[in-house]
Structure 1
Amino acid sequence: MEGAFSRRGFLGTAGAAAAGLSAGSTGTAGTAAAAGARRELPEGRSVRPGDPRYRTLGQGFNQRWRSSPAYIRLVADEADAVCELNRALDHGLRPTVRGGGHCYEGFVDNDGGVILDLGMMRGVAAATDKLGRPTYCVEGGATNWDVYTTLFRAYAVTLPAGSCYSVGAGGHICGGGFGLLSRRHGLTVDHLVQVDVVTVRGGTAVVTSAHRDDGEGSPEADLFWAHTGGGGGNFGVVLRYHFAVGVPEPPPRVWLSSVAWPWGELVERPGDFETLVRNFGAFMAEHSGPQEPTYQGLFAILKLTHRSNGNVVLVSQWDGDDPAPLDAFLAAVERGMVTRSVVQTHSAGGLFLPYPEKRRQLPWFQATMTLNPSGDNQRGKYKSAYHREPFSRAQIATFWDWLVRDVEGVDLTKTLVQIDSYGCRINTRGPAETAVPQRDSIMKLQYQTYWTDEAQDADHLAYLGGLYRDVYRETGGVPEVDTATDGAYVNYPDVDLGTAGQPDPAYQRLYYKGNYPRLQRTKAYWDGAEVFHHAQSITLPGA
């Protein structure tokens, strides 16, 4: 509940680190400045009603969400983050944190509270952790593009993070971080060694540096672990992520492929649609194991668009120099179809390749620039699912039924089921090693719909919700865990999976599975007053 907390009544604790980007914070309470210290920065860093920036900065990427906070603070550095969080606590204002602004639901929106915007903390540099070991340090407001450009140009390395260039590291990484290099190199959090967080245990904001090598069972070890998949907005303000110097070197060159099957032909041959989806799932089942010998370097996205879009599209990246395995994959997906693929050169729900041939080899860096599906600022709704097995015939039939269905007066050209390849090195970790428990899936699905007219909100929400429930009707309308499916992705939040305060909301098991009790215990220790909360935040034990 907003305004339900205050620093009064807590045991005050001293200390808040004011270290710069290249210095590793040291210890739970920090070292450099008193946590309660106040310092005034230029007023321009606080954006209040009437400021020409206020309406813009009160809204994130998804145009469905807009809020009216008391003010927005453009956080400049660590000391500023500590100061502003203490100020919010003193005035009983709820704080929310924004990195890149891509939250799929309105979890950052904050009427009457304070939005702590980290967009000015975008540093990416060589650093050291609190143990003095060399790391690559990424500040919480850095975007994926900040990370890729700096790490590649300065250090010839990268992270296996997402493809959307403008997504902020602050929320992306602590949800797990997943991208086109993940089948070969695992999730982003698999390379994380330290996280520096402004926490409020004891009622006063301090900087806590939690390390992978903190003693097992210690509160700091739990806090680090919670940031390896526990989601954003739950435990504090993430200032910095530190990654081991053994992060991946990107491949020098990759092959990109973009092919499509025209809906005009598929509607005449429904069996071809079934064959296509069945073949894709079967290939991923065969080639996504932890020790996959050939296809760890393949990342593929099958975009099952609505019929009105024109084409069903398959976009692939292959990191080998020899394109023969890529060609074999494309042939396997198309095997048994009468409808033949064509070159796809226009957008089909975001990511596409504007090339006149079915495949082209590019330097990895240029390919990463090309594969950017952030798209336009518009209204959107999203759902997700992990799949451990190929699709059943009933699920494929449901995809078909909904994707050929028209809704009078509703533009569904930007509505799709996106099926991402998954597995391989992701699945070398156990479900409790990180807070991401889904470690034996072969595909990750993202259900998406986009529109611009606010009057169509209800129609798009109803369509996507109906499609999703129908696909998973055999497991209660959701991708139940430990079945052929394995829950949903916390970084694709969906309030239809329940909200905090409801009895037994589904999101707690679908996002976190058996890891949820440990996340709750971590929450109780580091944020027992629930200063940080949103519609699907980690709740306290017994709540």
Structure 2
Amino acid sequence: MGQEFSRRGFLGSAGMATVGVSGASLGLADVTAAAEVAAVPEGQSVLPDDSRYQTLSQGFNQRWGSRPAYIRLVGNETDAVAELRAALDSGLRPTIRGGGHCYEGFVDNDKGVILDLSTMRGVHAARDKFGRPSYCVEGGATNWDIYTTLFRKHGVTLPAGSCYSVGAGGHICGGGYGVLSRRHGLTVDHLVQVDVVTVRGGTVEVARAHRDDGEGSPEKDLFWAHTGGGGGNFGVVLRYHFARNIPRPPPRVWLSSVAWPWEDLVNRPEDFRTLLDNFGAFLMEHSGKEEQVYQGLFSILMLTHRSNGNVVLFSQWDEDDPAPLEEFLAAMERGIRTRSVVQTHVAGGLFLPYPDKRRQMPWFQATMTLNSSGDNQRGKYKSAYHRRPFTTAQIGAFWAGLTRDVPGGDLGRTLVQIDSYGCKVNDRLPADTAVPQRDSIMKLQYQTYWTDPAHDAAHLGYLRGLYRDVYRETGGIPEIGADTDGAYVNYPDVDLGLAGQADPAYQRLYYKENYARLQRTKKIWDEGEVFHHAQSITLPKP
């Protein structure tokens, strides 16, 4: 391991990494940061004989686990710098964990060091490096930390994900989106600064990269890379700063849950096709950046496997007048003979404990209601952006895949989750942030869950087959084109290729034309590839 690190140039010229803080000017926040760097490291190392080791060696997805040399519960900035330097001096590979929800094993680290940020979960009013007011979110905070603190103390929120336990550290730098995004854009659209521990030229340093850094500066590129470049690529994200004008949530929202029983749909396949046609057509009409009426609608069509019981349509509407929501629901049921029912629980974790098709609730209570990450179990995921309604062939592939059984696998917790997208998300240009998908109308997440390792092959094979069949017209993947627009980096899928392979699909599907700039940024800030995993940003070819 030590030889590998030295060969890659991970250490400084003297074999020892040095520590510093990048940036020439010192504003109010920089003075605070300098004091932080001078502070005593606060953290704990969890070794293999510690009773916490087994738990902290594994994330949310029970498919993944590793045997690191130790896990460092990073306590502050000084500790992060010192521990990263110590790892490199010892020839140990570092990986970084925020909430532990990575869908692939990118944090797994046999014989290396996991830098766990879960104790750095502060959310507070602050100032950025230029002295401007901001809201600061530490890299170990969860979505629930963010929502509860920002709402209760400041009456504001971020348009981020609904799963309560997802960590900010990875969620935000992958782009971040949620039920308020059609009205307010992606999470990174509100980001102004990121504080990152990097290894630049062999020097361990804290870089404070801001949206308003000079064009063409290394700091400007580093900031931009954290607006969708994915986690684990450039350094240890300590803090995110957001503008003080982040959204105020609506006082109340309507929640709706409507379902169609599979026992009826299997006898009426035309209803299944009509439902998908209705959903796609509505979003095609009401997801452009100029959309006015339906910015406040977020809807999820959950195409569960037939063994789950029901196909479900969940919606949130953020205005008092429910008439537009009712018009949307009527549009969804148009031409469908299968009678809809109320659904309260869906594979994947969503739970609405109400016997109504729609109910108005205060926004915060509604957010609590939706805040579920599901059970800790084994899972596999895939994703796709769609620019247009589903083709006839795609709908046929959904039907064929969701109505067939697989020997050795219980598919009752298998689904394709189709999220509404667009509106304010589509207001940005593809190069404005590292997230390039800015004209989609739907975002899909393919999911399957199980508990028995003996069923791994059945579930993995099933989901791969379904995905391949849906996108058969474009080579088995959601290729960049008129109908589809790649995949989401925060739903990583190693079936899309691996770093080191010749032209792996993930590079273009996640990042499109933005990948070249991400590579240039990688060369500046991590030329030694200290931070790497199976689908890393790789260095540009000579």
Equivalent residue for 2:11?
7
* Deviation (angstroms), 1:12: 6.2
Aligned to 2:347: 348
Give the letter aligned to residue 7 of structure 1: L
Secondary structure (helix, strand or coil) at the match of 2:242 reads strand
Q: 2 CA distance for matches of 1:171 and 1:33?
A: 23
Per the alignment, residue 464 of structure 1 pairs with: 463
The corresponding residue for 2:310 is: 311
SS at match of 1:299: strand
1:425 aligns with: 424
Give the letter for the 1:4 counterpart.
Answer: F
Structure 1 residue 14, shift from structure 2 partner: 4.8
Question: Which residue in the other structure is 2:538 paired with?
Answer: 539
Amino acid at match of 2:437: Q
1:361-418 Cα deviation digits (max 9, x unpaired): 0000000010123010000000000000000011001000000001123100000000
Q: Distance in 2 between matches of 1:96 and 1:12?
A: 17
C-alpha distance 224-26 of structure 1, shift in aligned 2 (>3 A): farther
Native 8 Å contact 2:41 2:78 kept in 1? no
Report deviation, 1:39.
Answer: 6.2
Contact residue 36 and residue 77 of structure 2 kept, 8 A: no
- How many residue pairs are counted as aligned between the two chains? 533
In structure 2, relative to structure 1, the CA distance for the partners of 1:23 and 1:460 (3 Å cut) is farther
Aligned partners of 2:17 and 2:89 also within 8 Å: no
User: Which amino acid in 1 is paired with 2:81?
Assistant: V
Provide structure 2 residue ranges, at least 5 long, that are not aligned to the other structure. none
Query: Secondary structure of 1:74's partner?
Result: strand
SS at match of 1:466: helix
Q: How big is the shift at 1:32? A: 4.5
Q: Does 1:454 align with 2:433?
A: no
Shift of 1:353: 1.1
| Matched position secondary structure for 2:158 | coil
Task: Give the direction of change, closer, same or farther, for the CA distance of 1:459–1:16 in structure 2 (3 Å limit).
Answer: same
Cα deviation for residue 345 of structure 1 reads 1.9
Contact 2:12 2:203 in 1 (8 A): no
1:263 maps to 2:257:
no
Indicate if the aligned counterparts of 1:15 and 1:32 stay in contact, CA closer than 8 A: no
**Displacement of 1:15:** 2.2
- Residues 246-284 of structure 1, C-alpha deviations (whole Å, 9 max, x = no match): 100000000000010000000010100000011001100
Which residue of structure 1 aligns with residue 29 of structure 2? Answer: 24
CA contact (8 A) 1:107 1:534 kept: yes
Structure 1 residue aligned with 2:412? 413
Q: Indicate whether 1:371 and 2:370 are aligned.
A: yes
| Counterparts of 1:265 and 1:528, CA distance in 2 | 58
Cα offset, 1:434, TM superposition: 0.2
Q: Which runs of 5+ in 1 are unaligned?
A: none
TM-score (ref. length: structure 2)? 0.96
* Structure 1 residue 340: Cα displacement: 1.7
State how far apart, in whole Å, the 2-side matches of 1:518 and 1:409 are.
45
Alignment of 1:245-256 (within 5 A): 245-256=244-255
- What's the secondary structure of 1:342's corresponding residue? coil
Counterpart for residue 47 of structure 1: 46
| Alignment partners' CA distance in 1, 2:173 and 2:373 | 20
Letter in 1 for 2:506: Y
Query: Is the 1:16–1:79 Cα contact (8 Å) retained in structure 2?
Result: no
Cα distance between partner residues in 1 of 2:345 and 2:477: 32
**Superposed, which structure 2 residues align to 1:369-408 within 5 Å?**
369-408=368-407
CA-CA distance at 1:348 after TM superposition: 3.3
Which stretches of structure 1, 4 residues or more, deviate above 4 A after TM superposition?
A: 10-14, 37-42
Matches within 5 A, 1:223-262: 223-262=222-261
In the alignment, the residues of structure 2 paired with residue 304 and residue 165 of structure 1 have an alpha-carbon distance, to the nearest angstrom, of 23
Measure how far apart 1:347 and its partner are: 2.8
- Partner residue in 1 for 2:276: 277
Deviation at 1:24, TM superposition (A): 2.7
What's the secondary structure of 2:212's corresponding residue?
coil
SS of match in other structure, 2:248: coil
- 1:328 to 1:85, Cα distance in 2 relative to 1, 3 A: same
Q: Which residue of 1 aligns with 2:86?
A: 87
**1:12–1:202 contact (8 Å) kept in structure 2:** no
In 1: Cα distance, 2:122 partner to 2:172 partner: 15
Match of 2:175 in 1: 176
Question: Residue 41 of structure 1: CA displacement?
Answer: 5.1
> CA separation in 2, counterparts of 1:356 and 1:38?
54
Q: Distance between the aligned counterparts of 1:14 and 1:66, measured in 2?
A: 31
SS in 2 for 1:354: coil
